[in-house]
Amino acid sequence: MDTELSVTLWPSFPHFKRFAYDPRVTGIRLNSAMMSNPELDKELELVKQMPGTNPLFFDIKGRQLRVTEVLPNKDHLDLRLNHPIECRRDVVVLFKAGADYAVLDHLEEGGQRMIFKGGPHYKVKKGESLHIRDKSLEVKGDQFTEQELVKIEKVKAAGFTKYFLSYVENQKDVDQFRELVGKDSEIWLKIENIPGMHYAISKFQKQDNLTLVAARGDLFVELEKPHHMLDALRALIDVDPEACVGSRILLSVIDSPVPSCADLCEIAWLHEIGYRRMMLCDELCLKENLLASAVGVFDAVKRDLDQYAETMDQ
């Protein structure tokens, strides 16, 4: 299997067409995290106007905790979540992919409102994700919010048959989603936390239309220790030889068109342990120049790696 590259784009991006028909790209992920349903309608209309693109995948959000509202307060952070939770007081809550944090004071409104002691350094915005790594955390309620269920119906009606499902933690999550989108749909299961790792290693059963994804953007933050990522990556590709690895790839091209030695070696290592499907993160895909650099670099590296692998197999 040749190495494949997926990217994250929306049809309204000025550079969407450039990569939607680029033969070096094998899939395009539409990330619904920060998009409202009215905005989604406009994007789906644009999809209709551009037939024959590279395969489109829609990313559905499950139990991932996201901010739905930030309430104004002068001396502390006060926000509402998309899902009600239970956890102990005084837990550390991580923001900005682990780059910032705040300490929880208490929960209100059935666990859907979080009151903090002070606040993080950076401003928290509606739609952003957060992480609670404490073992007392329990995300309650249904897997999908009402708004997310509406998105699923809209996307399904638009003809989508390929999906990413975020924060998969058990077989029930998968079965419920398959009932909503159809059992013949292709679903890539994003493993993004420790419960997800436990499911993937001990309960996941490989099927033709189910693929595991090492979603490293969140998984790296959720794991207990940073170096645990290495074992996690090995474990997922062992369970699913067709697994995809996503995010935190080629980030050095954000600062320079010349990639770092570490980034190049990491792609080679991922290839060596078995990954043939890789996906770039949102940050690289938002700007045309960054994405062009990353796609060009990746294509050059993957041709060398695939050629070397073919030689070794002979």
Q: How far apart are CA 17 and CA 243, in angstroms?
A: 27
Q: How far apart are CA 169 and CA 218, in angstroms?
A: 14
Average pLDDT rounded to a whole number, residues 55-61: 96
Question: What b/e string do you get for 99-119 counting C-beta neighbours within 10 Å, with b at 16 or more?
Answer: ebbbebbebeeebbbbebeeb
- Predicted local distance difference test score (pLDDT) of residue 247: 94
Look at domain 4-63+143-313 and name its CATH class. Answer: alpha beta
Distances (CA, A) of 63 to 66, 95, 173, 215: 9, 16, 9, 14
On the question of pLDDT at 51 being above 70, the answer is yes
Contact 244, 213 (CB under 8 A): yes
Average pLDDT rounded to a whole number, residues 20-40: 92
Q: Are strands 186-191 and 162-165 parallel, antiparallel or unpaired?
A: parallel
Q: How far apart are CA 54 and CA 157, in angstroms?
A: 19
Contacts of 54 (CB under 8 A, 6+ apart): 19, 20, 21, 22, 25, 26, 27, 28
Average pLDDT rounded to a whole number, residues 55-72: 95
Q: How far apart are CA 172 and CA 197, in angstroms?
A: 15
- Predicted local distance difference test score (pLDDT) of residue 22: 97
Average pLDDT rounded to a whole number, residues 169-185: 96
- Predicted local distance difference test score (pLDDT) of residue 32: 82
Largest CA distance in the chain: 67
- DSSP 8-state symbol, 99: T
For the chain, the domains span 4-63+143-313, 67-139
Question: What b/e string do you get for 33-72 counting C-beta neighbours within 10 Å, with b at 16 or more?
Answer: eeeeeeebeebbeebeeeeebbebbbbbbbbbbbbeeeee
Summarised one tens digit per residue, pLDDT across range 205-229 is 999 999 999 999 999 999 999 999 9
Contact 274, 241 (CB under 8 A): yes
- Dihedral, CA of residue 305, residue 292, residue 38 and residue 187, to nearest 10: 0
- Predicted local distance difference test score (pLDDT) of residue 308: 81
On the question of pLDDT at 137 being above 90, the answer is yes
Q: How far apart are CA 213 and CA 56, in angstroms?
A: 16
On the question of pLDDT at 74 being above 90, the answer is no
Residue written as tokens 């033969």?
23
Q: What is the mean pLDDT of the chain?
A: 95
Closest CA to 145 of 83, 222, 73: 83
**Facing residues of 162 across strands?**
186
Summarised one tens digit per residue, pLDDT across range 76-104 is 999 999 999 999 999 999 999 999 999 99
On the question of pLDDT at 34 being above 90, the answer is no
Q: How far apart are CA 114 and CA 259, in angstroms?
A: 40
Band (pLDDT 50/70/90 cuts) for residue 197 is very high
Contact 219, 232 (CB under 8 A): yes
- Predicted local distance difference test score (pLDDT) of residue 314: 67
- Predicted local distance difference test score (pLDDT) of residue 195: 95
Contact 251, 284 (CB under 8 A): yes
On the question of pLDDT at 169 being above 70, the answer is yes
- Predicted local distance difference test score (pLDDT) of residue 3: 95
On the question of pLDDT at 36 being above 90, the answer is no
Contacts of 236 (CB under 8 A, 6+ apart): 191, 197, 200, 212, 214, 243, 245
Residue 308 φ then ψ, to 5°? -65, -40
